[in-house]
Structure 1
Amino acid sequence: MQAPENTSYDVVIVGGAMYGSSVAWWLSRNPDFNGSILVVERDPTYEFSSTSHTNSCIRQQFSAEVNIKISQFGAEFIHGFQDFMQDDDAPEIVLQSYGYMYLADNEAFAQTLRETQAIQQRLGAGTKYMSADEIKADYPFYNLDGIIGGNHNLINEGYFDGGTIFDWWRRKARAQGAEYVHNEVVVITKNASGDRVESVTLASGEVVSCGTLVNCSGPRAARTARMAGLEIPVEPRKRYTYIFAAENPLDRDLPLTIDPSGVHMRSDGKYYLAGCPPDDDPAVEYDDFVEDHSLWQEKVWPVLATRVPAFEAIKLMNSWAGHYAYNVFDQNAIIGPHTQVSNFIFVNGFSGHGLQQSPAMGRGVAEWITYGEYRSLDLSSFGYERIEKHTAFVEKAVI
């Protein structure tokens, strides 16, 4: 454990993975913010963080306008990464635009795809609704028995190297003055009236005063909130990823295909990637990353071989279980201040959208801390108030 250099900070960020580092980077680069930043990370290897288990995908195929705009800025950030970093050594980040292919096997979902395509197109996305025949013409390797149609977008939609972005955010945040410590917040203390966080106590014993506390603790978000006497509907849920080789590789890239079964698959360099939620999807312990190996044999592989007959002969190369920070209320992010404890800021509950949304969400939270308002993109619809009022954020395209 590391002790922090000081006993008081303007901003204390709990969790230093993708979101903690995004907020720290955006804050530390803002000329209008001149405060001190402490990032507290319990595991600096990030071995079990959601950041380390991400599939690094981005899509514009959402139904809510703000989610589409968030991803559009994410694509802008990826393409302009070197300019954003303002560093000649920053690498180019390539967005592999294979696109998402949502497949519909019933008319109700097909109609939903048509409606969301219209919204996406109005906002400038390249999504097209395709009939089964049109899909077959472009991607003849699919077995489309039972499929009515699908949505596909080949522009700024696919996967990218999220690990490099995270690494640069963390490195540049430090260079810009943010302090990272290997430690853990174990107590959060509020003032006498209970409307502000005054300090945090670290596992190593230090008491650190803070002006603003930011909860970036991923699947552990509820545990962090409860230290302040707050509740948030976020829990860790397992998601499984598989890397496999095909004896007969496809003759073109495989879009990130969302099968009606819930299994998804895509090209991944010379290999292929697949994933899915378990059929029984409960909350799990924070340190439970044990794989259910029957899922591959009984669910994933049969779906792959059915949807893409060339995948009847494949070899599993690697697999892992990671955690979604799953918002059980409406599967969308909870961003911004608590309604009563005004300096407790949520950056939680992304439910699998986290990496692609991290550029826009980190920017927005940094704006809120600096200015008391969102300036680039209005993120108020993700506020905690909706949790208290039981008013769900409606997003039809959740994987």
Structure 2
Amino acid sequence: MKPSYDVVIVGGAVIGSAVAYFLTANPDFNGSVLVVERDPTYRFASTSLSSSSIRTQFSNPINVKISQFGSAFIKDFAATMQIAGEAPPDLNFHQGGYLFLAGTEDQAQVLRENHAVQRACGADVVLWDQEALHRAFPHLNVDDILLASYGQSGEGWFSNTGLMNGFKAKARALGAEYVTDEVVAIGRAGDAVTSVTLKSGAVVQAGHIVNASGPRAALTARMAGLDVPVEPRKRTLFIFDCAQTPEGSATVNNGRLPLMIDPSGVFCRPEGRYFLSGAAPVEDPAVDWDDFEPRYEEFEDAIWPALANRSPRFEAIKVVNQWAGHYDFNTLDHNLIVGQHPVVRNFVYANGYSGHGLQQGPAAGRGVAELITYGGFRTLDLTEVGYQRIVENRPFLEKAVI
């Protein structure tokens, strides 16, 4: 480790590693990059504990375009991230699509409005009435469904750790350095951050500091005398076995089932021979950064009843695994914050994804790298999701939040 770097990235999971990759892969960036990661096992990283999926079905065109880039990047990941002499990384991208179900006219109208935005962006999404939905997925009980929205391509699930490790390996191959340590202080001189102090005692000078510390984003910002409205919110995921699986019964997409979002908010998708499911809890307080105890009761209280109501195939199911992870939850508007602090401009935020970090990582990493290299965005303009809206208390509106 050197005494000084052009860019120090705090956090080395998917966001930090995406930033490191897009910096080092850009021939216009001639600087040095250090990534500081406190836990190289990534055991409790939001990346590792996520539902590992991507969708273009959002209500805001910025989010649609972010995921369109992410989906294309994931499709080409093996070729882009291959390192000479090594096997190309395989993310095993299953394009099963997302299926949003509307049970009320208000929900149906939201799907129609969102669909117009998605189609205007070129997303491959269709709306189905009750009859078309039943033809596509005959195992579903659709008597109470008014409308469905289905992503025919560009949506699905993939290897979360594969994405992170691919970014990390390629960034290192291109010259980024990783150190196992923890940032405990950030030096500041007037309107600039100048250094990071590590738990090991080392002090490293920095030209830019990128906050990619996930649910701990506010802790990192406060070290620089700044802030960000991000806190850890717990989400529990369940893996269950199905006595009579509906997988293979669909009449679309070669029989594959999608990631289904029930009107109740419960979601479910295939996971190998099993299924993965979850739901936002009714009570959703901030939790301690080290609280990863699953909320076991959510399955019996909310998830199983909703799934059994939606399909008789989901009546006889058994939980085989569960875990809890953290959203880096943006309390202002539940959306990403990507951009420079308006005063301390060499402190760059890459935070607040609120459950979308994995799928938005490629676009966010590219955007942060452009800000540092060029002083502004060159490809997809992410100004609307910058930090200035936090200062102005101006929420970025997105209706399709799960």
CA contact (8 A) 1:95 1:156 kept: no
Match of 2:293 in 1: 290
Q: CA RMSD in A?
A: 1.1
1:204 aligns with one of 189, 200, 203: 200
2:112 aligns with one of 89, 111, 114: 114
CA contact (8 A) 2:239 2:275 kept: yes
Match of 1:43 in 2: 39
Match of 1:178 in 2: 176
CA contact (8 A) 1:79 1:94 kept: no
Kindly provide the amino acid, as one letter, of the partner of residue 71 in structure 1: S
Match of 1:187 in 2: 185
Q: How does 1:302-313 map to 2 (within 5 A)?
A: 302-313=305-316
Q: How does 1:211-226 map to 2 (within 5 A)?
A: 211-226=207-222
Kindly provide the amino acid, as one letter, of the partner of residue 302 in structure 1: P
Match of 1:324 in 2: 327
Q: How does 1:55-66 map to 2 (within 5 A)?
A: 55-66=51-62
Alignment: residue pair count: 393
Give the Cα separation in 2 of the matches to 1:339 and 1:87.
38
3-state SS, counterpart of residue 323 of structure 2? strand
Match of 1:340 in 2: 343
3-state SS, counterpart of residue 322 of structure 2? strand
Give the Cα separation in 2 of the matches to 1:123 and 1:354.
21
Q: How does 1:1-399 map to 2 (within 5 A)?
A: 5-87=1-83, 89-191=87-189, 193=190, 195-250=191-246, 251-252=248-249, 253-399=256-402
Give the Cα separation in 1 of the matches to 2:236 and 2:181.
29
| 5+ residue gaps, structure 2 | 250-255
Superposition deviation, residue 146 in structure 1: 2.1
Give the Cα separation in 1 of the matches to 2:8 and 2:334.
26
Superposition deviation, residue 160 in structure 1: 1.2
3-state SS, counterpart of residue 242 of structure 1? strand
Give the Cα separation in 2 of the matches to 1:174 and 1:196.
27
Give the Cα separation in 2 of the matches to 1:87 and 1:98.
29
Give the Cα separation in 1 of the matches to 2:8 and 2:184.
13
TM (norm. structure 1) is 0.96
Moved over 6 A (4+): none
3-state SS, counterpart of residue 50 of structure 1? coil
CA contact (8 A) 1:335 1:347 kept: yes
Kindly provide the amino acid, as one letter, of the partner of residue 111 in structure 1: Q
Larger mean CA deviation between 102-111 and 247-256 belongs to 247-256
Give the Cα separation in 2 of the matches to 1:69 and 1:293.
36
Q: Deviations over 1:247-296 (max 9, x none)?
A: 00114332111112111001112111101122110000000001121111
Superposition deviation, residue 92 in structure 1: 4.0
Give the Cα separation in 2 of the matches to 1:86 and 1:240.
33
Kindly provide the amino acid, as one letter, of the partner of residue 363 in structure 1: R
CA contact (8 A) 2:126 2:152 kept: no
Superposition deviation, residue 94 in structure 1: 3.6
Percent identity, aligned pairs only, is 52
Give the Cα separation in 1 of the matches to 2:175 and 2:376.
23
3-state SS, counterpart of residue 171 of structure 1? helix
Kindly provide the amino acid, as one letter, of the partner of residue 49 in structure 2: H
CA contact (8 A) 1:95 1:157 kept: no
Give the Cα separation in 2 of the matches to 1:36 and 1:324.
30
Superposition deviation, residue 162 in structure 1: 2.5
CA contact (8 A) 2:238 2:322 kept: yes
Superposition deviation, residue 86 in structure 1: 4.8
Distance of aligned partners of 1:92 and 1:288 in 2 relative to their CA distance in 1, 3 Å threshold: closer
CA contact (8 A) 2:48 2:160 kept: no
Give the Cα separation in 1 of the matches to 2:92 and 2:41.
25
CA contact (8 A) 1:213 1:343 kept: yes
Give the Cα separation in 1 of the matches to 2:177 and 2:52.
26
Larger mean CA deviation between 341-350 and 255-264 belongs to 255-264
Give the Cα separation in 2 of the matches to 1:178 and 1:242.
36
Q: Deviations over 1:70-127 (max 9, x none)?
A: 1111111111113322536213434212111111111111011011111111221111
| 5+ residue gaps, structure 1 | none
Give the Cα separation in 2 of the matches to 1:337 and 1:305.
47
